[in-house]
């Protein structure tokens, strides 16, 4: 099925489309146009149409897109038609929050195993998810055929854990640590770096000026105060 070349930027928007289509479906809507979709997901309608067109002709001219059909198409495309089990490595604060987050509720994704080093966690069940000793990780990953993991461990052991994950056959890692781990090229890592995100946001609000607002940058000794960003 991995035949066509879908741009990565497009791939990243698919879940967004899927989610809104489900919302429309549940609201009883039968059709939707790229313009309407654009409003909800805040992506230019031309981009949406272009994105969809990579998958073939999904809509009807003069009509728009059939909500149910499109939803089902994306469901398959995003593997939402079968359950994906995910491992949680590191059951600390963030890890436990993610357990509670419950991806399952609206998606066919669930955290099915947790791993930690702490004795008081090992052997317990959190939110219905059993927590194993990290030493059993490679075996359990193989046995349970898990191929996606969420990494929420201290930075110091991030690489070591990534190595174990690879050994256990994991093909995708959602990395919440600030460390850029090294893995074989067939393993995919998505970094979610909360501190980075905040810093970038702060940078943007301080140095981005909206041309439409015609605001002048403040005068100070920072060499960057005359930088502008174009949206």
Which residues carry a binding-site annotation? Answer: 90-95
Residues 6+ apart with CB under 8 A from 177: 151, 152, 153, 154, 155, 158
Which of its own copies, DNA, none does 145 bind, CB closer than 5 to 8 A by kind? none
**Quick one: 13 or 171, whose CB is closer to DNA?**
13
Burial of 34 (0-12, 13-18, 19+ CB in 10 A): buried
* Under 8 Å between Cβ of 98 and 129: no
Q: Which does 33 bind (CB under 5 to 8 A by kind): DNA, its own copies, none?
A: DNA
Burial of 1 (0-12, 13-18, 19+ CB in 10 A): exposed
- Out of 27, 28, 100, 125, which residue is the one contacting its own copies (CB under 8 A)? 100
Closest C-alpha among 197, 199, 156 to residue 179? 156
Nearer to its own copies, 50 or 135 (CB): 50
For residue 64, the 8-state DSSP code is B
Q: Which is nearer to its own copies, 119 or 221 (CB)?
A: 221
Cβ atoms 108, 91 nearer than 8 A? no
Tokens of 172: 């995708």
Binding mask 2-21 for DNA (x = CB under 7 A): -----xxxx-----------
* Annotated binding residues for NAD(+): 90-95
**Nearest approach, Cβ of residue 190 and its own copies (Å):** 5
Token couple for 60: 């009807």
Smallest distance, Å, CB 46 to its own copies? 14
- What does 135 interact with, of its own copies, DNA, none (CB < 5 to 8 A by kind)? none
The answer to whether the CB of 71 falls within 8 A of the CB of 16 is no
List the structure tokens of 91.
């059951």
Question: What is the nearest approach in angstroms of its own copies to the Cβ of residue 135?
Answer: 26
Distance CA 71, CA 210 (A): 36
Q: Could you say which residues in the range 138-177 bind its own copies, by CB under 8 A? A: 147-148, 150, 171-174
Q: Does 78 bind its own copies (CB under 8 A)?
A: yes
Instruction: Provide the binding-site residues for DNA, judged by CB under 7 A.
Output: 7-10, 33-35, 43-47, 49-50, 52-53, 56-65, 212, 214-215, 230
């Amino acid at each position: 099925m991995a035949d066509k070349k879908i741009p990565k930027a497009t791939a990243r928007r698919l879940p967004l489309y899927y989610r809104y289509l489900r919302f429309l479906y549940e609201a009883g809507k039968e059709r939707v146009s790229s313009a309407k979709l654009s409003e909800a997901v805040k992506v230019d309608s031309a981009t949406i149409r272009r994105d969809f067109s990579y998958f073939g002709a999904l809509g009807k001219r003069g009509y728009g897109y059939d909500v149910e059909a499109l939803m089902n198409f994306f469901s398959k495309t995003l593997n939402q038609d079968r359950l994906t089990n995910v491992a949680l490595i590191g059951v600390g604060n963030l890890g436990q929050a993610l357990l509670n987050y419950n991806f399952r509720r609206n998606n066919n994704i669930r955290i099915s195993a947790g791993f930690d080093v702490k004795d008081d966690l090992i052997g317990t069940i959190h939110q219905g998810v059993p927590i194993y000793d990290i030493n059993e990780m490679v075996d359990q990953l193989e046995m349970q055929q898990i191929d996606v993991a969420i990494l929420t461990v201290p930075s110091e052991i991030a690489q070591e854990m990534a190595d174990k994950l690879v050994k256990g056959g994991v093909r995708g890692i959602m990395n919440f640590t600030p460390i850029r781990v090294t893995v074989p090229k067939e393993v995919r890592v998505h970094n979610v770096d909360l501190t980075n995100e905040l810093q970038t946001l702060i940078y943007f609000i301080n140095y981005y000026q909206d041309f439409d607002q015609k605001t002048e940058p403040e005068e100070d000794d920072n060499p960057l105060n005359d930088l502008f960003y174009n949206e």
